[in-house]
């Protein structure tokens, strides 16, 4: 956080999984407690303890620089009605609610409101997420920078110029962690079928996905190069990959998977 942004006031609406991860990231990045306010009618005991420990207020007298919306899509319309009066003319609204378009959020605020729509993903909980964000034309350069910094506390940030790309982002990085968890499940099931006891099968699958992910994180090599480096011609990995990489194999399956998720994201968008 820069000196400038550390003094910008940030109000978080909804301190659940995602909002809580953001809050922890901001505190770790040195955002002063006096700049923060958190509203959540029913925080988890851990969150309630954190809010109490830091003495974080529910609101302050002046409107916030950024109003961060991190509630479930099911309650967001009601929440937008509740919180719209909290925004001032210079407040940027930063929404991480899946499926809520900038236009549908803007309806709750006066004409010309600055709105950023962002799609984070689950590894934000450990500061290793990736968030794609889209800003409407009313977002100033400094508001965009501030939102970028706030989102970066949970990992990487990329900006898209076309809001419709958020559907594909949702299908890739938003839903992606679940695909990888499922990969670990399937690898464990295959390990059991290959004759390994269930505990060992699960442990091998889990550690393999963890280790490969970490290696990818630390390496400057592309995934393809990393794969090629462990694939000896005619060896065991090559035999396994020949199945995964055959026609109608994993690539086609993932293309179909992402297309289905993106389609659902478009269906759910309002
Ligand atoms: N988790 C992810 O991986 C992920 C990824 C991308 C985007 N998102 C988006 O992030 C948003 C939050 O998801 P989440 O997983 O963090 O959900 P969550 O854990 O349910 O957190 C939402 C929090 O908001 C609280 N809340 C409900 N009504 C409120 C109100 N009127 N004012 C203030 N707070 C209120 C909820 O309390 P109660 O529990 O009492 O309802 C809960 O603590 C969603 O819109 C989701 O689409 C999540």
Q: Tell me the pLDDT tens digit for each residue of 174-226.
A: 999 999 999 999 999 999 999 999 999 999 999 999 999 999 999 999 999 99
Q: Give the residue, by CA position, lying nearest to ligand 1 atom 21.
A: 16
Residue nearest to atom 3 of ligand 1 (CA): 122
Please identify which residue in the block is written with the tokens 């006891």.
Answer: 197
Q: Would the CATH topology of 3-165 be identical to that of 176-268?
A: no
Helix (H, G, I), strand (E, B) or coil at 87: coil
Q: Strands 114-119, 129-135: parallel, antiparallel or unpaired by DSSP?
A: antiparallel
Residue of 149, 2, 7 whose CA lies nearest to 64? 7
- CATH code for residues 3-165: 3.40.50.720
The structural domains of the chain, with segments of one domain joined by +, span 3-165, 176-268
The arithmetic mean of pLDDT across residues 110-136, rounded, is 96
Which residues 6+ apart lie within 8 Å of 132 measured at CB? 118, 119, 157, 158, 159, 160, 165, 166, 169, 173
Distance 64 CA to ligand 1 centre (A): 20
Alpha carbon 251 to its chain centroid, in Å, reads 24
* Protein residue whose Cα sits closest to atom 46 of ligand 1: 97
CB burial of residue 189 (10 Å; 0-12, 13-18, 19+)? middle
pLDDT at 2: 40
Closest ligand 1 atom, residue 43 Cα: 43
Q: How confident is the model at residue 61 (pLDDT cuts 50, 70, 90)?
A: confident
pLDDT score at 261:
96
CATH 3.30.420.40 is held by the domain 176-268: no
pLDDT band at 270 (very low <50, low <70, confident <90, very high): confident
């Amino acid at each position: 956080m820069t000196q400038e942004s550390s003094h910008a006031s940030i109000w978080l609406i909804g301190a659940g999984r995602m909002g809580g991860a953001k809050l922890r990231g901001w505190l770790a990045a040195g955002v002063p407690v006096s700049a923060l306010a958190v509203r959540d009618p029913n925080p988890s005991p851990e969150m309630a303890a954190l809010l109490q420990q830091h003495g974080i207020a529910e609101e302050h007298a002046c409107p916030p620089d950024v109003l961060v919306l991190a509630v479930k899509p099911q309650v967001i319309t009601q929440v937008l009605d509740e919180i719209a009066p909290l925004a001032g003319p210079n407040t940027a609204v930063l929404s991480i609610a899946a499926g809520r378009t900038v236009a549908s959020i803007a309806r709750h605020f006066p004409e010309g409101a600055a709105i950023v729509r962002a799609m984070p993903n689950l590894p934000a909980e450990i500061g290793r997420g990736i968030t794609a964000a889209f800003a409407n034309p009313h977002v100033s350069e400094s508001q965009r920078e501030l939102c970028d910094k706030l989102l970066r506390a949970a990992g990487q940030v990329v900006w898209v110029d076309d809001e419709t790309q958020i559907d594909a982002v949702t299908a890739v990085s938003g839903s992606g962690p679940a695909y990888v968890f499922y990969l670990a499940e399937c690898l464990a099931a295959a390990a059991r079928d290959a004759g390994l006891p269930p505990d060992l099968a699960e442990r091998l699958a889990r550690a393999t996905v963890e280790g490969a992910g970490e290696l990818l994180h630390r390496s400057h090599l592309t995934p393809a190069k990393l794969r090629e480096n462990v694939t000896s011609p005619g060896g065991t990995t090559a035999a396994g990959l020949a199945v995964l990489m055959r026609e109608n194999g994993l690539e086609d399956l993932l293309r179909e998977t992402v297309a289905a998720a993106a389609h659902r994201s478009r269906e759910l968008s309002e």
